[in-house]
Structure 1
Amino acid sequence: MGCAPEPAARNHDAAGHDHSSGSGMSGGAHASNSLPERSDLPHDALECTEPPEGWEVAKAASGEPTVRLNGKWLHSPRDPRMESARLVDHNAVPGGVVVFYGLGLGYPVEYHLDRSPENHAVVVEPEPRLIAAAAQTRDLSALLANPRVHFIAEPNPERLAVLLRHFENRPIRTVRLRAIVERSSDFFLQCDRIQETFFARRDINGNTLKRFGGVWVRNLARNAPILSRARGVNLLADRFAGVPALVLAAGPSLDLVLPHLEQIRRSALIVAVDTAAAALTAHGWEADLLVVVDPQWWNTRHLDRVRSQRTVMVSESSTHPRVFRLIQNQPLFAESLFPLGRYLERATQVKGTLGAGGSVATSAWDLARLMGCSPIYCAGLDLGFPDQRTHCHGSFFEERMHELSRRLKPAQHHAFSYLVQANPYRVADNRGGTVLTDQRMAIYHWWFENQAQIHPQVDTRTLSPGGVAIAGVPFAALEELLSLPVRRASMDQALESLRTAAAAPLEEDTEERLRSLVVDLIAELGRVERSCMQGLDALDAHRRGSTALPQTLRRLDQADRDLRALEHRDIAGFLVQDALSRITRGEDHGDALETSRRIYESLWQSAQFHIRELKRASSFLHNAPIL
């Protein structure tokens, strides 16, 4: 953005006042013109010496500089520091992250950082020249050089989504400078939506961990023999560069594509998710690659009658073990997202990651991207409910609805319940109309739009006319895919080469190395148990009155030091992330000692659970592989 002035709308200050008077001077007299070099601040824009149009500096009654922008006060004309303190105190919590919509003259950011050395600030300012003007008005050199301040100084709100991921387990609040927000209202409205999506995804992740954390660990233990023989998805990197791919999900629009699959597969690689596999089998086809990553037993039912003689399965070590009994082709594993999985994979040949946006369809698309496929066509990826339908015909979901139907609760009742249970609302579709979607789908929608921005070179198109419109993923007519040149022979040759590489013998001691890691981890988790018991014993003694508080705190400190000294404590901590996150985000307001008790008890129980499952894994590895 250049230095040329541009008109601005009339605004309100942080306190909501509409001041129209105040002595002022144009430009600042105190500022340091030498700004620190930062990768998140555009140097050219910050070198602007001409303030924006309507920027008027004044002296507050307290003696501090304040400023009006187009007649609106950014800070109080009386005492900007006191006003900023009230604004931050009302919104922020100690040890947290505050997203500041606008820097102003930096008073709120400085106050927030001074409250605690653990505090961080994210300053969102779509006009970098406002930062330059502030730095010319006050000495902001210390603030601009502070590593706890993170800037988004460009008109790209998606940067906020990336930055918030670094503060997944921190309390996050927002402070808005009204004059700045109203000046760029559409931009900050997008920032609000990004934050809403972030919090929704964080809640979903927390609930998913609470529900499935134990299942993931149990599956990992039972899949240890398969893991010891598996290779990674790194074998797939760029193996199909330039080859068109069709990613099949189980949305209603899959029905539009399946009748043409015989012709499509001559020209495109077929990548299917597990929920779409039954529909393919019903039409007499199997996928070239099948992506299965769900830990639940119920999800394995999608594969009950699936043809998979030649299919290459891509999976992950926490997938339910029944999957590997139903499809016994040698799988390729993506690296685990979980501490235990990453630890065990150190002894294996599993290399390479796949994106995880909460849906198996996100992993399937990322697999196509990893393979270098271009273009990537998507069918059944509706992210909504075209014509009020939830899934394609022949899917396990649809069959299950009919199976559960009763005279007073027909299949339509279950379909309606699915449609309305997650706050449905309408959004734009690919036909220029609207389609029903819900909060679950919004997470996946954001993920695909974000990936389109991160990977603009990946040509992705959707074949779903009634699906939710995805920015960066244009609609393509089915005829476009049908008109592609035939290349099935070369694809089959590459697939055969891939199957040979996936089944190639591994080093003979892989299984022994894996078992050694399991034994070592069991011993370390035993030390986690003992340290937690020491902490619980100290708390029990204090509760009985046997020890004074200072002695109790010393014993707790020792227990904490012992835990921090353990290299793999995060593995036991994995199952208590929900409780720890509530504490760190300031959502658990209990007594400090009782909070410590809950943490020690949760860690102790997690260590016990891991030890029990790892002993089973060791047994599986020692004996014949359990498939």
Structure 2
Amino acid sequence: MTGHYEKNLAVLRNRDAEMASHVDRLHDDPLIEVVETKEGAPVPSMLLGEKKNFLHSRFDPEKEAERFMGEINTADHDLYIVMGFAFGYHVESLLKRISRDVIVLIIEKNGSLFRKALEQRDLAGVLGDSRVMILLDPPEDVIADRLKGKASKNVSFITHRGSHQVYSGYYGTVLEICRSYLSTKEVNIATLAKFEKLWSSNIARNIQYYADNRGVQSLYGKLQGIPAIVVAAGPSLMESLDFIERNRDRAVIICVDTAYRILLKRNIVPHFCIAVDPQVINARYFEGVPLTDTVLVADPMVHPSVFHLFRGRSMTTGLVFDMMKWIERICGDKGEMTHGGSVSTNAFDLARRLGCSPVYLTGQDLAFTGGLAHARGSYLDEQIHLRTSRVNNSLMFNRYQLTALPPVYVKGIRSEKVRTNQKMMIFLAWFQKRKDEALVNATCDGAFMTGIRHVSCHDINLEKRDIPVSSVIDGLMASIRESMKDAATVRKRLIDRINAMLRDLDTLIPHLEKAVGFSGKLIDLLSQAGQDQGKLDYILRKLSEIDRTIETKKEVKDMISLTSQRAIHTISEGYDIDASDAGLSSEVLVARRSRFLYSGLYEAGLFNRKILMKMRTMLGEEAS
């Protein structure tokens, strides 16, 4: 061991004491050897089988690193994710080329190799650099935690060639994990921007239904041990219809709203249909549908037309957002549901909460099987045909779906490989992470789910039941109806709470308006050459007073937060507000973010006042 180790370890301990202790406990890896170049630079090699693999050039690793980094665009990136540290020559070259406000996340598979680097090289400059974060063979949740709050608009992935040739499978998987997390984050922020106000608006318009109706929790655990078939609307669904029809009395059939019409056309009446999307187009899945024995399970954030158009029994799930839990505390627990970004993930979660096992997935292609986005005959497929013309035919609509996001090719169930995209990869990853032995993928084709049992639906034979599943569900629904809370009392308690919150909002909104003005003045002061410290202190004191006032109004603060999530996430995840952020001092940037946040909260305060008044109107019509 050279004299570098203690110095490097001391610097590392300063930055990350836990990692330093972990590294200090590691032993030598017998597969690692170190040779020196003519100039004395240490170069590691790894023995794989009988082949010795050098992780850097054994002649001139520094020159190799400069050449490697010269091939990479190191301008205009906020975050670099480096796969492989080895002896860090490439990392040193990268740090010389990038600006001081950039983050470099380095993931190294072999902790013993990292320790050897600390023994052989003076890496104090790298280890002490505030831009650098190093993870040693981290689990997925640690990677996600380190990426949280890091700007990812301009991210660059760098795979160190020497490390990749030794651990190609590992670094390939880590790359997918990072991409999946960052894609999910982008999708979440885009979703918040699109739906944050729609969610609250729908809850307000559904409040009477939510107060009066049954919660699906009353069925949880009541269908223990009965198999379930989850029906999604992927292109291969048509091949599974015989299997679903054959087993309607032997398994609980849970379909997503998109697939509902397809089943009805085959005279298959599912036991449950689940709806979670807030958009009005999803309500049209039930347009013109006759009276049914199907039980609708709806998220309270669905479009109100869902409840008007669906002709049958219905239940609601709980409120997913903590900011709206005050409603549930009054109405009673309706039933928690795990969300994975797609209605089919909700359908699977419902099956498991009901107690069903095993759960067979059908139509869960998560891919453009046969060049199609949805199963033939789904509502979305019908809309494509209604909107076709000589110029825009159905093939062109499917082509648009295929090209809306860059293609990703993955292993297929029946096909050698299938085309999907990053959005569907998020849902694929959700199922793969379940590690649930009850989950069986019986989808006929589409993306193969790694770690999940795949069985052809044609090979599944379910046992005949003494009592048909539909009769069991009918009995449960009848008993639930008799034990429901007094609706009038619940509505009265909701109205009282809404009135109290409106009074709090009327107090809070003027404070938020003042905060927007104060933060604007703060930007002006910080942008001046000669800053008036007295004025700065006064503004900061006033903003602190407003913050304390906001904190005292917990329920309205939480409700406002729901409809200002885009602003909150923009700040917390490190995104630029707009292009004018570039080149500003850190103090001015903080002030700009402060104004952006207060503006979002102020607008949300005004919006939520309307929402609460809408709730009161919806409840008051029945309560009067």
TM, length-normalised to structure 1: 0.77
Equivalent positions of 1:446-457 (< 5 A) are 446-451=429-434, 455-457=435-437
Shift of 1:422: 2.6
Structure 1 equivalent of residue 419 of structure 2: 436
Residue 262 of structure 1 deviates from its aligned partner by 3.4
Partner of 1:478: 457
1:224-244 deviation per Cα after TM superposition (whole angstroms, max 9, x unaligned): 112223454433433323221
Deviation string for 1:348-402 (max 9, x for gaps)?
A: 2235432222211111112122223222112211112222233223211122122
1:289, 1:312 within 8 Å by CA — same for their partners in 2?
Answer: yes
Q: 1:103 to 1:271 in 2, by over 3 A?
A: same
How far has the Cα of 1:445 moved from its partner? 2.0
* One-letter identity of the residue aligned with 2:333: V
SS at match of 1:624: helix
Partner of 1:220: 203
Structure 1 position 153 matched with structure 2 position 137: yes
Matches within 5 A, 1:309-348: 309-327=292-310, 329=312, 331-348=314-331
Aligned to 1:585: 574
Contact 2:358 2:440 in 1 (8 A): yes
The more displaced of 548-557 and 599-608 is 548-557
Count of aligned pairs between the two proteins = 577
Q: Distance in 2 between matches of 1:336 and 1:198?
A: 25
Q: Distance in 1 between matches of 2:362 and 2:80?
A: 40
1:494 partnered with 2:472: yes
Residues 529 and 485 (structure 1 numbering): CA distance in 2 closer, same or farther, change over 3 Å? same
Cα distance in 2 for partners of 1:560, 1:57 equals 60
Aligned pair partner of 2:492 in 507, 512, 518: 512
Letter of the structure 1 residue corresponding to residue 564 of structure 2? V
Counterpart of 2:194?
211
3-state SS in 2 of match to 1:623 = helix
1:285-296 → structure 2 map (5 Å cutoff): 285-296=268-279
Larger proportion of helix:
2
Question: Which residue matches 1:11?
Answer: none
Alignment partner, residue 373 of structure 2: 390
Could you say if the C-alpha distance between residues 334 and 561 of structure 1 is closer, same or farther in structure 2, counting changes exceeding 3 Å? farther
Note the alpha carbon deviations across 1:531-583, whole angstroms, 9 max, x for none: 222123335667999x9754554454345434543344343233333334334
Among 245, 258, 263, the alignment partner of 2:228 is 245
- Structure 1 residue 281, shift from structure 2 partner: 1.5
Mapped pair 1:526 → 2:506:
yes
Aligned 1:61-72 pairs, distance under 5 A: 68-70=43-45, 72=55
How far apart are residue 611 of structure 1 and its match?
0.9
1:610 equivalent in alignment to 2:608: yes
Distance verdict in 2 for CA 1:169–1:623, change over 3 Å: farther
> 2: CA distance between counterparts of 1:207 and 1:406?
31
1:282 to 257, 265, 273: 265
The CA distance in 1 between the partners of 2:210 and 2:171, in whole Å, is 46
> 1: distance between equivalents of 2:204 and 2:441?
39
Distance (whole Å) between structure 1 residues aligned to residue 546 and residue 593 of structure 2:
17
**How far is 1:468 from its partner?**
1.7
Correspondent of 2:561 among 573, 584, 589: 573
Partner residue, 2:70:
none
Alignment of 1:92-107 (within 5 A): 101-102=83-84
Deviates further, 307-316 or 208-217? 307-316
- Larger mean CA deviation between 436-445 and 373-382 belongs to 436-445
The offset of 1:165, in angstroms, is: 5.7
Change (3 A) 1:163 1:53: closer
How many Å apart are 1:296 and its aligned residue?
A: 0.7
Q: Tell me how far 1:74 sits from its aligned partner.
A: 11
Quote the Cα distance in structure 1 between the aligned partners of 2:61 and 2:323.
56
Cα-to-partner distance string for 1:61-84 (whole Å, 9 max, x where unaligned): 9xxx99642255699999xxxxxx
Residues 200 and 563 of structure 2 are in contact (CA less than 8 Å); yes or no, is this contact kept in structure 1? no
AA partner of residue 469 (structure 1)? F
User: Partner of 1:435: helix, strand, or coil?
Assistant: strand
User: Given residue 225 of structure 2, which amino acid in structure 1 is its aligned partner?
Assistant: G
Question: Partner letter of residue 581 of structure 1?
Answer: H
- Which runs of no fewer than 5 residues in structure 2 stay unpaired? 46-53, 63-73, 96-100, 582-587
Q: Is the 8 A contact 1:97 1:119 kept in 2?
A: yes
Which range is displaced more, 130-139 or 265-274? 130-139
User: Structure 1 residue 222: deviation in Å?
Assistant: 1.0
Change (3 A) 1:127 1:331: farther
266-275 vs 569-578, which moves further: 569-578
Verify the 8 A CA contact 2:317 2:334 in the aligned structure 1: yes
CA contact (8 A) 1:230 1:348 kept: no
Structure 1 position 350 matched with structure 2 position 333: yes
Distance 1:480 1:239, change over 3 A: farther
Tell me how far 1:323 sits from its aligned partner.
1.0
Percent identity over paired residues: 23
- SS of 2:433's partner is helix
Q: Which residue of 1 aligns with 2:98?
A: none
Deviation readout 1:78-105 (Å, 9 max, x if unpaired)? 9xxxxxxxxxxx7999xx9875645668
Q: Residues of 2 paired with 1:74 and 1:617: CA distance?
A: 69
Deviations 1:249-307 (A, max 9, x none): 11222212224543211221100000111111212232111110010111111111335
User: Does the aligned pair in 2 maintain the 1:579–1:599 contact within 8 Å?
Assistant: yes
- Determine the structure 2 residue equivalent to 1:535: 515
Residue 13 of structure 1 is matched in structure 2 by: none
Local SS of the residue matching 2:192: helix
- Contact 2:515 / 2:546 at 8 angstroms: preserved in 1? no
Aligned residue among 439, 454, 457 for 1:459: 439
Tell me the distance in 2 between the aligned counterparts of 1:166 and 1:308: 51
Q: CA RMSD in A?
A: 4.7
Moved more, 237-246 or 513-522: 513-522
Deviations 1:330-360 (A, max 9, x none): 5433333334433422222235432222211
Q: Verify the 8 A CA contact 1:242 1:372 in the aligned structure 2.
A: yes
Structure 1 gap ranges (5+)? 1-23, 79-89, 113-117
CA distance in 2, matches of 1:57, 1:348: 71
Separation (CA, whole Å) in 2 of partners of 1:533 and 1:578: 19
Report the residue type matching 2:514 in the other structure. Q
Moved more, 609-618 or 585-594: 585-594
Q: 1:258 corresponds to which residue?
A: 241
Rounded Cα–Cα distance in structure 2 between residues aligned with 1:339 and 1:244? 32
Alignment check: 8 A CA contact 1:42 1:153 kept: no
2:621 to 615, 620, 623: 623
Which sits farther off after the overlay, 514-523 or 612-621? 514-523
Contact 1:278-1:305 within 8 A present in 2 as well:
no
Residue aligning to 1:601 = 599
How far has the Cα of 1:486 moved from its partner? 0.9
Secondary structure of 1:525 counterpart: helix
In the other structure, the counterpart of 2:585 is none
Instruction: Rate the CA distance shift 1:286–1:422 in 2: closer, same or farther, 3 A.
Output: same
User: Quick check: 1:249–1:276 contact (8 Å CA) kept in 2?
Assistant: yes
Contact 2:441 2:455 in 1 (8 A): yes
Which residue number in structure 2 is paired with residue 21 of structure 1? none
Q: Is the 8 A contact 1:46 1:131 kept in 2?
A: no
What is the alpha-carbon distance in structure 2 between the residues aligned to residue 46 and residue 572 of structure 1?
A: 48
- The letter of the residue matching 1:478 is C
Contact 1:357 1:444 in 2 (8 A): yes
Identify if the C-alpha distance between structure 1 residues 168 and 496 changes in structure 2 by more than 3 Å, giving closer, same or farther.
Answer: farther
Q: Which moved more, 1:521-530 or 1:600-609?
A: 521-530
Taking the aligned partners of 1:471 and 1:308, their CA distance within structure 2 comes to: 40
